[in-house]
Amino acid sequence: MSSDSFGRAEGLSAPSRRLFVQGLAAGGAVAALGLWPRSSWGVQAEGVPNVLSGTEFDLTIGETPMNFTGATRPAITVNGSIPAPLLRWREGTTVNLRVRNALPPGSIHGDQASIHWHGILLPADMDGVPGLSFNGINRGETYQYRFNVVQGGTYWYHSHSGFQEQAGLYGPLVIEPLEPEPFAYDRDYVVMLSDWTDLDPKRLFARLKKRSDFDNFSKQTVGDFFDDVKQHGLAATVEDRKMWGQMRMTPTDLSDVNGNTYTFLMNGTTSLGNWTGLFRSGEKVRLRFINGSAMTYFDVRIPGLKMTVVAADGQYVHPVTIDEFRIATAETFDVIVEPTGQDAFTLFAQDSGRSGYVSGTLAVREGLRAPVPEVGPKPLLTMDDMGHGGMGGGGHDMSSMSPAATAGGAMAAMDHSGHDMSSTATGATAGGSMAGMDHGAGGMQEHPASETGNPLVDMQTMAPAPRLDDPGIGLRDNGRRVLTYADLRSTFRDPDGREPGRTIELHLTGHMERFAWSFNGVKFADAEPLRLNYGERLRIVLVNDTMMSHPIHLHGMWSDLEDESGNFMVRKHTIDMPPGSRRSYRVRADALGRWAYHCHLLYHMEAGMFREVRVEE
């Protein structure tokens, strides 16, 4: 890519006020108001101001006024930009990063700051999690991160202090590998997706605690009821509505915060700003997709182009050619495309709840656009989606399924076919964690005793499954080839090779109305650390007992995802857990210290779905 590659919005005549403000400050800073975004991010570009490379870095965390919607708001920035600068490292080097906290007194984003290097293997005191890794960076102070770079690939970095990640403190990270890559390409672009809100993130969190369904504008209506009666019959429809009512949930509640609150960004640019990456016909273009959002799952496609996935979470995978993929918060996917036959192609990323989108363009010259697809229809959750044994209506008699109420009045266990799950208990490992909880009688999932009668738990899955070959809610049977976890296979064998010596099973739990999230019904403030023995190989089994998806991230160590038979599939740093799923992965406890383990949906983490992991000799 040449250094004069810039993405620009095509000329617009008499834009509406709504469209105009969506394009304001496409590059972020108020000083750059207008429809012209910053230089497009090309990894190999020289002279692009947002790329820093080498081994010595000076990063300043500050507060900068931003305007993405027509309203100016204080954002958290690194060196004055959103996203933060693209950092380029080289495997085998030692990097020194001097991070200065220049937040002004009285900032709504607090006095302390931090940077976590997501997916990077490093000493615990370099991981950047206040309270675990270090004490944080106070205003006016500089913290020096120094560590050896022992991996290659596409990663990112972000704040681990309060809600600063939501306010703009996130950036891409590309590490050049020592060995030649197993694929070829001519151009290389980062495509970082994120979500922006004009609200103070603390106020948004408070709103979620008071009214978690504030953004759910798509609740079912009387008209929907009669449509379902025509399709499924009266009895099944009534049972379905009764069950959702008893659970105090709604099948349209796919995301806690969506496009009704968020403006979605691509490389810090709104759709009207039209981030553009240039190509010449027939070239191979590498696109490094990074989901740096706080709360949003994106479904990504490029109409008219096939994408070949070559890496996941920075690690090479056997190439798989697809039309579309879902990228959970914190995941990264590298794809290669070969644009030809037309001058422009749209990069289209809609949120999984179908409340909005962000788009950009691949083009042979600046100023071009291609048609932008319509946002897809809003999907509906079913009982089957939540792991309740296929009881999703559609003519299926659900009359035998009645909820068992917890002390808090919400459904925590479901009595099905005479099997009362509210009395199940679990065993403990030597380390005090959950272990060995195979499906109980009749193939039903057992649950930890800490969930029983728990006012912070409103649901338990009955028949969870790995769902590795499931594209996901809203992506099934859409006529396109959609990536699934079952498609991902690392290009290397299990790097450890040992069978796990023990199993830890953890349940992802929550209460939708209270907006309380946890592991095993125990929020972080009340939970004991998970203790791992240095050097051991263990298996972690996650069971999602909620109706929400959760991207789970373990700091400091890889998560080696297994298939249903326990065979190594793919190495990742973030494991997505759809509703009603049960997935397992292996971990080698090869990093001493205190590490964070949490859901990467920011507000879920802050609401309690967080654990400390201690690796001890």
Q: Which pLDDT value is given to residue 428?
A: 34
Quote the CA–CA distance of 438 and 319 in Å, as a whole number: 34
The amino acid occupying position 224 is D
299 in any annotated domain: yes
d(CA 540, CA 552): 11
Examine the domain organization and report whether 185 and 293 are in the same domain: yes
Over residues 348-364, the mean pLDDT reads: 97
Range of the domain at 137: 17-201+261-363
On whether the CB atoms of residues 398 and 239 are closer than 8 A, the answer is: yes
Residue 379 lies in a domain: no
Of the residues 363, 391, 415, which one is the last residue of a structural domain?
363
Residue 378 resides in a domain: no
What is the distance between the alpha carbons of residues 229 and 224, in angstroms, rounded to a whole number? 9
Query: What are 82's two structure tokens?
Result: 């959103």
In a domain, 311, yes or no: yes
From the number of C-beta atoms within 10 Å of its C-beta (0-12, 13-18, 19+), residue 102 rates as middle
The predicted structure's pLDDT at residue 403 = 34
Sign of CA dihedral 599, 464, 496, 91: negative
Cα distances (angstroms) measured from residue 180 to each of 91, 172, 177, 184, 488: 12, 21, 7, 10, 21
Bond before 83 cis per omega within 30 degrees? yes
- Residue 18's pLDDT band, with cuts at 50, 70 and 90, is very low
Say yes or no: 358 and 411 in one domain.
no
Considering the domain architecture, whether residues 406 and 356 belong to the same structural domain is answered as no
Sign of the dihedral through C-alpha 97, 101, 102, 108: positive
pLDDT for 100 equals 98
Residues 437 and 532 in one domain: yes
CATH at 85? 2.60.40.420
Residue 382 pLDDT: 78
Same domain membership, residue 279 and residue 148: yes
Rounded CA separation 617/148 (Å): 22
Instruction: Give me the pLDDT at residue 29, please.
Output: 40
Nearest to 521 by CA among 447, 463, 465: 447
pLDDT over 70 (residue 501): yes
217 occurs within a structural domain: no
Whether 347 and 411 map to the same domain: the answer is no
Mean pLDDT value across the chain: 83
C-beta of residue 273 within 8 angstroms of C-beta of residue 26? yes
Please report whether residue 339 resides in a domain: yes
Q: Running DSSP on this structure, what letter comes out for residue 477? A: T
In a domain, 323, yes or no: yes
Domain end: 307, 342, 363, which one? 363
456-495 residue pLDDT tens: 999 999 899 999 999 999 999 999 999 999 999 999 999 9
Residue 133 and residue 47 share a domain: yes
489 and 437, same domain (yes or no): yes
Question: Residue holding tokens 């509505």?
Answer: 241
pLDDT in tens, 411-449: 333 333 323 333 333 333 333 333 333 443 346 899 999
CA distance 302 to 362: 9
354 shares a domain with 454? no
The pLDDT assigned to 113 comes to 98
Percent of the chain with pLDDT over 70: 76
Q: Where does a domain end: 363, 385, 413? A: 363
Q: Is 80 exceeded by the pLDDT of residue 235?
A: no
Model confidence pLDDT, tens digit, residues 147-173: 999 999 999 999 999 999 999 999 999
Of the ranges 57-61, 316-320, 454-458, which one carries the lowest mean pLDDT score? 454-458
348 and 408 assigned to the same domain: no
Instruction: Say if residue 303 is in the same domain as residue 439.
Output: no
pTM: 0.84
Number of domains in the chain: 2
Residue 64's region, left for phi above 0, alpha for psi from -120 to 50, else beta, is beta
Residue 91 lies in a domain: yes
What mean pLDDT do residues 299-321 have? 98
Are 154 and 301 contained in the same domain?
yes
